[in-house]
Structure formats: structure tokens, C-alpha cells
Amino acid sequence: MARGLNRVTLVGTLTQDPELRYTAGGLAVMELNLAGTEFITDEQGQTREVPWYHRAKLLGKSAEFWGDNLKAGMALFVDGRLEYRTWEQEGQKKSSLEIRAERIEVLALEGKRGTVTVTDARGQERLRGGLNLVMLVGNLTRDPEVRYTPQGTAVARLGLAVNERYTSRQGAEQERTHYIEAQAWRELAEYAGELRKGEGAFFMGRLVNDSWVAQDGTKRYVTRVELVRLERLARGTVQSGGDGS
Amino acid sequence: MARGLNRVTLVGTLTQDPELRYTAGGLAVMELNLAGTEFITDEQGQTREVPWYHRAKLLGKSAEFWGDNLKAGMALFVDGRLEYRTWEQEGQKKSSLEIRAERIEVLALEGKRGTVTVTDARGQERLRGGLNLVMLVGNLTRDPEVRYTPQGTAVARLGLAVNERYTSRQGAEQERTHYIEAQAWRELAEYAGELRKGEGAFFMGRLVNDSWVAQDGTKRYVTRVELVRLERLARGTVQSGGDGS
């Protein structure tokens, strides 16, 4: 397995006042609901402003540090990682992909030109020209499948297993794996189609939430990475990465 | 002082075979000479392909791990940080800004469409569409100065002090500061002009090497960050950042 790299960086505004709460085990938890837009230029040179909404979790001392000083409308820099969680619900295995914030900074918006935030349909402030950047290194969980839209545009779905090694509070070396879904379009999708299950890859893109109605009529949600860059790791180096010294 | 964030990510090709050497103290050192291009779109919608050349240092176990397996022409993913160094030479204080690689991956280029690398005038392979991304959080070392080119384009020079805390091999808490120069153009330069010495800031941009002939006739070099994004941290939160838990 490639040594995992798991990094998410967001700049956006808080859509709600975050609340500090505690788990039954006494862990401080704060949920940050962030909104921003990105300016995306397509192949035809046309720029669209695409909104995003993401929820990040701040835990422990960091959450307590910020306490109740964070308010709706504030602009935040959030740096953290993607966290894959699984649980059982009515006998069914469920999973989710969350953003775990590792550091945050409050940004000052005074002095910025133009329209800095827009108010959305729910009355929440959304930061224009936010930042939504994901970088991952891991291994493909399956052969990527390439399909074509009725207009002939190639789209590929990819799964990445990102390995995480950490030392537990008891000092034991632990390992866990985060499973992350991604999507690529056009030329990048065609390139993805040449990759194979097990190969190491570097993903760079933005985090998007997608929803659809499943065959049983229930609404389903998925958080995935919309790729802007995809690199394949050379075979033979995949086992490694080399530890920082 | 804002808790420092110091991150550089490069994707480029090796222009030379790197050599593993050892310092007098027995530390393994490997210098990675990387080259790439970026496609930069200006306000007029015109895209230019801009080449870059950077040298990154890999130290210790990581350097030994890669040994002599890295060859000129290979594409690498390099993740690391900027390191500010000072020394004395003939009674004068000298300084440099280096890239310290913390992890590298060898990338496979097979299956990529179009021209993946170009051969430069010195016969070295340069990766087209490389990646050159710097993210920093620190404090401004001076009031940014805004000037105007004869064509009326605003350009600002900024200095950032990035704080680093680490634990020495003896277990002692250490602190050091990296001094990083940056440059902003146009609207971003005007915005930079409103910031003041001591303020916390988030810098995002690309690393460039610049050279000029000084008044004494000697050639001078500087490595700095060409900003694509500049955010000011809110006052009152600058002291902190909040530790990861």
C-alpha cells in the first residue's frame, strides 16, 4: 500500500453559529458548516461560479479552544483530512465521509474588492471565490469504470483506499484505511480508464456532495472528489513512500 | 504569532540523476532538481506556459530509502516545506530559502495524452503541466509596499514570518522562524497594500526563482512566492490557531 496522503483545505463562510457539544465519553465536538463558491473554467473557456456546502468536524482541545467565538458569516480557513466512518443501522452497514478539521483560522474580509459574500436562498452567507482543495495519495480499490454521457462526454468513477498510520494513546502503532470516491471528466476520465485496481495514485480535486433517488425511492448522498488532476504512481514504489526522517 | 503552516507541493521531472551524499555528521542528503511548467491564464483570458526549476532536499532515512533509484527524466511528486537558512560568509550574513522534501513518490507517465515532457535548451526533460503549490500561514514582517509598473500595473512585495515548533531529539520544545518573501500583482497587490506589519496571513501561490544584477555588479538570486491568493487573519485569533488535539 502506498503511504497515504490525506489533506483537505477549505476557505468559506460559516452558514450557522457552531455549537460546542460533548460526546458521552467527554470528547468536545464542534460542527462547522461552511459555504463557498469556486470559479471553474471549462474547455470552452467559459467560467461558471459553482457553490459548495461542506460540514467539517473539529474535535477535542481545538474545539474547546474556539468555544463559542465562531459565528455565522465568519470566514474560515480549515485544514484537515477526510475521515471514512462505518456503522451498523438496522442490520445494514452504513458509511460516511467526513471532513475532520485539524486547524482553523478566522479570516478578515475587510478591504476585499467586489462582492465578497452572497446570501443564498436560505439566508446564509456564502463566500465568493472560496477554496476547496483535496490532495490524496492511496491505492485504487477497483478498476475505474469509464462511461459516456448521451452527449459523448467521458466520465470515470474511481475508488481510492488511503492508508493512515498513527500511534494510539496507549502508544501502539495503529492502521486504518479511508475509502474515498472520486469522479473524473473528459480527458482525465479517459486516462483514469487505463489505471487498474491496486495501483497507487495521486488525486487532486475538489470535494462535492451529490444526491440522487435510489431504486427503493430513498434519497442517497455521497461526498466525493471531483478530480482536476490524477497521477499514477510508478509500480515498485507503491509499497513505500519512504518515511519522513 | 500565528501558528505556522508551511507546505510546498511539486510535481515535476528530475533534470539530473540525484546523488546520495553524506554530511560530515553522517546525515544522508539528496538534492532533487525538478522542472515543470504551469499553464497560467491572465485577466485577458490568455494562457501562457510558464517553466519553473526548483531544487528540493531530501534528508536522512528518506534519502537513503531512495538510494540511487531516482534517475533524470523521472516524474516525481514532492511534498514538503520551505526552509529558511542563514550563515556567515566573509563576515556577511547570507540567507537562502530551500525546499525540504518530506515525502516523494515516483509517478508513471505512460498513458498520458499529448506532449508530456519537453526537452529544454540544456537537454533536460521538463514536465508539461506540472504542479507548483505553496501554502503558508504566518505574520507579515513589514508593511507591504505597493508600486506600479510603467504600464500602471500594481505589484506588491510582502515578507512573511512562518513559525515552526518542533521537538528536538533530546525531547526539548524548539521554535524557529522561516522568513519568506512573496509578490502579488494587480488586484491582489492593492489588497496587500491594506495589510500591516504583524498581521496574520494565509498565502497561497507558486514558488519562483528570480535573479537580477545588483548595484555592485554581482548577480543576486531570490526564491519567492508568487501569490494567487492572499487572506488576512482576523485580529484576536492571531495569537493562536489552536493546537490539533
- The tens digit of pLDDT for each residue in A3-21 reads 899 999 999 999 999 999 9
Q: What is the pLDDT of residue B165?
A: 87
Interface with chain B: mutation pick from A58, A59, A113, A245, highest number of B CBs within 10 Å: A245
**Position A111 confidence tier, pLDDT thresholds 50, 70, 90:** confident
Per-residue pLDDT of A196-238, as tens digits, reads: 999 999 999 999 999 889 889 988 889 999 999 999 999 764 3
The Cα–Cα gap between B206 and A132 comes to 17
Phi, psi of B66 (to 5 degrees): -80, -20
Percentage of residues in chain B having pLDDT higher than 70:
96
Q: CB A40: neighbour CB atoms within 10 A?
A: 13
Query: pLDDT for B21-65, tens place per residue?
Result: 999 999 999 999 999 999 988 777 788 999 999 999 999 999 999
Other C-beta atoms lying within 10 Å of the C-beta of residue A154: 18
Contacts of A242 in chain B (CB under 8 A): 61-62, 65-66, 103-104
What span, in angstroms and rounded, lies between the C-alpha atoms of A132 and A109?
A: 18
Q: Which residues pair with A116 in a beta bridge?
A: none
Predicted local confidence at residue A170, as pLDDT: 81
If you measure CA to CA, which chain A residue comes closest to B59? A245
Kindly calculate the radius of gyration of chain B based on its CA atoms and give it in whole angstroms: 19
- Residue B240, pLDDT score: 46
B129 Ramachandran zone, left/alpha/beta (phi>0; psi -120 to 50)? left
Position B7 confidence tier, pLDDT thresholds 50, 70, 90: very high
Amino acid at B68: D
**Cβ-defined contact of B106 to A233 (cutoff 8 Å):** yes
Q: Estimate to the nearest angstrom the gap between the alpha carbon of B238 and the chain centroid.
A: 23
Local structure of A192: helix, strand or coil: helix
Q: Could you tell me which of A71, A55, A59, A61 has the C-alpha nearest to residue A30?
A: A59
B107 and chain A: CB distance < 8 Å anywhere? Answer: yes
The span from the first CA to the last CA of chain B, in angstroms, equals 19
Please judge whether B237 and A105 are an interchain contact, meaning their C-beta atoms are less than 8 angstroms apart.
Answer: yes
What's the predicted TM-score (pTM) here? 0.91
The DSSP element (H or E) to which A187 belongs, if any, is helix A186-192
What residues in B contact A137, CB-CB < 8 Å? 77, 105
As a whole number of angstroms, the distance between CA A58 and CA A62 comes to 7
Average pLDDT, chain A: 91
Predicted confidence at residue B101, as pLDDT, reads: 97
Helices (H) and strands (E) in chain A, counts: 2, 14
Place of cell 477526510: A82
Per-residue model confidence as pLDDT tens digits over B192-215 = 999 999 999 999 999 999 988 988
B41 closest CA partner among A155, A87, A47, A27 = A47
List CB contacts of B150: < 8 A, sequence separation 6 or more: none
Q: Rounded to whole angstroms, how far apart are CA atoms A138 and A3?
A: 7
Q: What secondary structure letter does DSSP report for A186?
A: H
Interface of B with A in 192-231 (CB under 8 A): 194-195, 200, 202, 204, 229, 231
- Mean of the pLDDT values across residues A14-34? 96
The residue of chain A with its CA nearest to that of B78 is: A241
Q: CA angle, corner B9, sides to B8 and B12, nearest 5? A: 130
Task: Return residues 111-170 of A near B (CB < 8 Å).
Answer: 111-113, 131, 135, 137
Give the lowest-confidence range in A37-46, B55-64, B138-147, B232-241. B232-241
List Cβ neighbours of B123 (8 Å cut-off, separation of 6 or more): none
Which 3 state secondary structure label does DSSP give A44?
A: coil
pLDDT, one tens digit per residue, over A159-174 is 999 999 888 778 888 9
Say if residues B60 and B103 touch (Cβ distance below 8 Å): no
Q: Within 10 A of B241 (CB to CB), how many other CB atoms are there?
A: 22
Q: Is B239 on the interface with A (CB under 8 A)?
A: no
Whole-number Å distance between alpha carbons of A5 and A138: 7
Which of B5, B45, B112 is nearest residue A191 as measured by Cβ atoms?
B112
Cell numbers for A196, please give them: 487498474
Q: Are B135 and B160 in contact (CB under 8 A)?
A: no
Q: CB-side exposure of A20: number of CA atoms within 13 Å?
A: 16
Mean pLDDT of A45-73: 93
Percentage of chain B lying above the pLDDT 90 cut: 78
Cell of B125: 526533460
The amino acid occupying position B124 is Q
Quote the strand ranges of chain B, DSSP E: 5-14, 20-22, 28-41, 47-59, 75-89, 92-108, 117-119, 125-127, 131-140, 145-148, 154-167, 173-185, 200-213, 219-233
Confidence of residue B114 (pLDDT cuts 50, 70, 90): confident
Closest CA to B210 of B173, B183, B174: B183
Res B56: pLDDT: 97
Q: Measured between CB atoms, does B43 come within 8 Å of chain A?
A: no
> A79 and B235: CB-CB below 8 Å?
no
Report the residue from B105, B110, B137 with minimal CB separation from A202: B105
Flag whether pLDDT at B67 surpasses 80: yes
Is residue B236 very low, low, confident or very high in pLDDT (cuts 50, 70, 90)?
low
pLDDT cut 90: percent of chain A above it: 78
Q: Which of B106, B111, B232 sits opposite A108 (nearest CB)?
A: B232
Q: What is the mean pLDDT of chain B?
A: 91
Q: Name the more confident of B177 and A171.
A: B177
Q: Indicate if the pLDDT at residue B3 is higher than 90.
A: no
Give the pLDDT of residue A236: 64
Contacts of B176 (CB under 8 A, 6+ apart): B163, B164, B166
Asked if B243's CB is within 8 angstroms of A62's CB, the reply is yes
φ and ψ at residue B202, rounded to 5 degrees: -105, 125
| Average pLDDT value for residue range B151-163 | 96
